[in-house]
Amino acid sequence: MSKDGQVTVKKQRPVNLDLTTISMPATAKASIFHRVTGVALFFALTFVIWAWSESLSSAESFEFVKGLFNGFIAKFIAWGTVSVLVYHLIGGIRHMIMDMGHWEELESGNLSAKVSMALGVVFAVLAGVWIWF
């Protein structure tokens, strides 16, 4: 730091943005999944709100939407939306638990990251069973 309080930074540090060589620990994976699911959820809402508004507009359109859910595409969108929502929710709860000062050590942070991802997979499978069977 110079006398006038200005910080001088030498911009000669190596920059590595090659994702295939960056190590992705469980915590980094849990974090990026939380972000991806948040963004995905925002766009999934377009389908959810459309189906909801259609289903409430008349008895005919209700049956039409209900019929759509016999097809693969609507089932798949519904499954994807529920799975992504549940993971985002679990990740969000983990976030708030960490905000309160828990699971901040390397070991506990890694463990809770792994548990939330595992729970996400379990709930995705359960949601699949629920929607298809």
Partner 1 sequence: MVLNQATLKRDGVQDFVSLRTTALIISAYAIFIIGYFLATPEVTFEAWTGLFSNLAMKGFTLITLVCIMVHTHIGLWQVLTDYVKCAKLRAALGFVLSLMSLAYVAIGLIVLWGV
Residues that bind ligand HEM (CB under 6 A): 22, 24-25, 28, 34-35, 38-39, 41-42, 45, 88-89, 92-93, 95-96
Quickly count: other Cβ atoms within 10 Å of residue 120's Cβ.
22
Q: Which stretch binds partner 1 (CB under 8 A): 7-15, 16-24, 57-65, 110-118?
A: 57-65
The nearest distance, CB 107 to partner 1, in angstroms, is 25
The nearest distance, CB 56 to partner 1, in angstroms, is 5
Query: HSE (CB half, 13 Å, CA atoms) of 118?
Result: 7
Nearer to partner 1 by Cβ, of 51 and 117: the residue is 51
Q: Which stretch binds partner 1 (CB under 8 A): 6-14, 21-29, 59-67, 105-113?
A: 59-67
133 SS3 class: coil
Instruction: Write b or e for each residue in 77-107: b if 16 or more Cβ atoms lie within 10 A of its Cβ, otherwise e.
Output: bbbbbbbbbbbbbbbeebeeeeeeeebeeee
Q: For residue 125, how far is the Cα from the chain centroid?
A: 15
Q: Name the maximum alpha-carbon separation found in the chain.
A: 76
Nearer to partner 1 by Cβ, of 74 and 110: the residue is 74
- Asked if residue 132 lies in contact with residue 84, where contact means CB atoms within 8 angstroms, the answer is no
Q: Which residues bind partner 1 (CB under 8 A)?
A: 35, 38-39, 42, 45-46, 49, 52-53, 55-57, 59, 62-63, 66, 82, 85, 89, 92-93, 96, 99, 130
